[in-house]
Amino acid sequence: MPKEKQKILMIEDDRFLRKIYRDKLTKAGFEFIEATNGIEGTNKVISERPDLVLLDLILPRKNGFDVLIDMKSNKNTKDIPVIILSNLGQESDVKRGLALGAQDYLVKTEISLSEVVDRVKEWLVKTK
């Protein structure tokens, strides 16, 4: 890992999921920051300028699609890679997420934590 830790923002309302990803990503050498709803998520994207965002879709106050739309329409945040990590796995949701500019779309129950960490590393290299 480089000396300066790369910063991952997880926008997720489930505290248990945040906890396990915090432990896993911190252990993998990243700085982990979190937001528990869509509005807080959008604010932290702007104020914290993370290297990558892990974004849930069903969120209180503002859903993940709207967070993504706002991120991609702001010139300061549009290049931050976004991995959607959701339980919505219908083809139309995946298409919509990718069309709005997410780099990747992962379904929580179908992927292991270690695989998510691998994807985070992959996208950080690809979008450098």
Partner 1 sequence: MAETNPEKPKMAEVVSIVAHQLKNPLSVLKGYLEVLLTEDFGKINQKQKEYLSDALENIKRMTRIVDYLLDVSRIEEGRYELKLEKTSLEKITQEVLRDFSSWAEASNCQITFKKPKELPEVLVDSLKIRQVIENLISNAIKFKPAGQGKIEITLEERGKNLLFSCKDNGVGISEEDFKRVFTKFYRSEQAMELDPGGTGLGLYINKAIITLAGGKIWFKKNKDFGLTFYFTLPIFTK
| Footprint of partner 1 (CB under 8 A) | 14, 16-17, 20-21, 23-24, 27, 58, 87, 90-92, 108-109, 112-114
Nearest approach, Cβ of residue 88 and partner 1 (Å):
8
Nearest approach, Cβ of residue 46 and partner 1 (Å):
27
24 vs 72, beta carbon nearer partner 1: 24
43 vs 87, beta carbon nearer partner 1: 87
CA dihedral 65, 97, 113, 80 (to 10 degrees): -80
Nearest approach, Cβ of residue 107 and partner 1 (Å):
9
Distance between CA atoms of residues 12 and 115, nearest Å: 18
- Tokens representing residue 121 in the block: 């590393």
Q: Contact at 8 Å (CB) between 103 and 82?
A: yes
Distance between CA atoms of residues 60 and 80, nearest Å: 22
4 vs 110, beta carbon nearer partner 1: 110
Nearest approach, Cβ of residue 14 and partner 1 (Å):
5
46 vs 111, beta carbon nearer partner 1: 111
Distance between CA atoms of residues 127 and 22, nearest Å: 22
What does DSSP say about strands 82-86 and 52-55: parallel, antiparallel, or unpaired? Answer: parallel
